[in-house]
Amino acid sequence: MSLANKHNAFLKRSVQLNTDCFPKSVRDAAFRKAVFRYQGGFTLLEMIVVAALLLVVAGGVVTSFRDVGSDASEQAARFQMQQLGEAIEAYYADNDTIPTRTTPADLSFLFTKPASAADWNMDYRRGWRGPYLSGHKYLYVDIGDDLTVNGRSEDDSSIHGEPNLIAAGGDVIESVVAIADPFYHYPVDDGVNRSTDGCNTADCLFEWRKTKDDDSTLLTRFGRPYLAIDLENLQDSSIVPGAARLVSLGSNGIYEPNDCDYTEIDDSDPDFCHQDLLCSSSGDDIVLCLR
């Protein structure tokens, strides 16, 4: 027998002797004990540590998605405002004027022909040939009458008006054809900037409905209306370009007027407004200056 074969035979005999030294019941009990120890669960401390780590990870994911959602809504608002601006410019190019409105939220002239607008004349290429905005579903909103179409207050023309206020002796402007921005909020009571549960009085503002007079179609939580301010200045070449502007109330849903200086002629000045420049605001309003 070779040396290698002798060595293998010795190892086999050693294993057999070690196995024979213990009864089968003892061997089985030792095996079960070893398996039990191997399959033992986490200790309480280990479970607490794992749970804490999961909470930290989950919190980070939620925060991340919230940020992404906010960015997405803002980008959607900017894109919609660009479309609105182009539609308003197209209307003005066809009609050479902006129709009379009672509130800057009124965008009805982009969807239906105003009484003051002429029918489209193919020879002169003038008149109303809308609708000027496709891909947007207009709805009806109730809004305060303190904010005039030039951005001033109905009560005091020297200060900025507010769409969440009813002017002295005034009333709610009801069923205005408008377009909502993508930031969802509850409607508010007269004089209240923002609500967490909706209106609690009869004077309910920023309340949307799908049809003009049907309160059963109210949307309890929806966007704020885009505001088209100073559009009449599009037809006045003496005004510095940019006075006409579109405003979204932003993610907080509160109107915080910007302070663009329309007499400024230096386009390097941060207060100068011109086409496609998003002017600064005292809050998070998104402002698109036209022309």
pLDDT tens, residue order, the chain (291 aa): 555 555 555 545 554 544 454 455 545 555 455 444 444 566 777 777 777 777 666 555 444 444 445 588 899 999 999 999 999 999 999 999 999 999 999 999 999 999 999 999 888 889 999 899 887 788 999 999 999 998 889 998 878 899 999 999 999 999 999 999 999 999 999 999 999 999 999 899 999 999 998 888 899 999 999 999 989 888 765 555 557 889 999 999 999 886 555 455 566 665 555 443 445 556 888 888 786
Phi, then psi, of 61 in degrees rounded to 5: -65, -45
Contact 185, 194 (CB under 8 A): yes
| Total-model pTM | 0.72
161-175 confidence digits (pLDDT tens):
999 999 999 999 999
189-227 confidence digits (pLDDT tens):
999 999 999 999 989 999 999 999 888 889 999 999 999
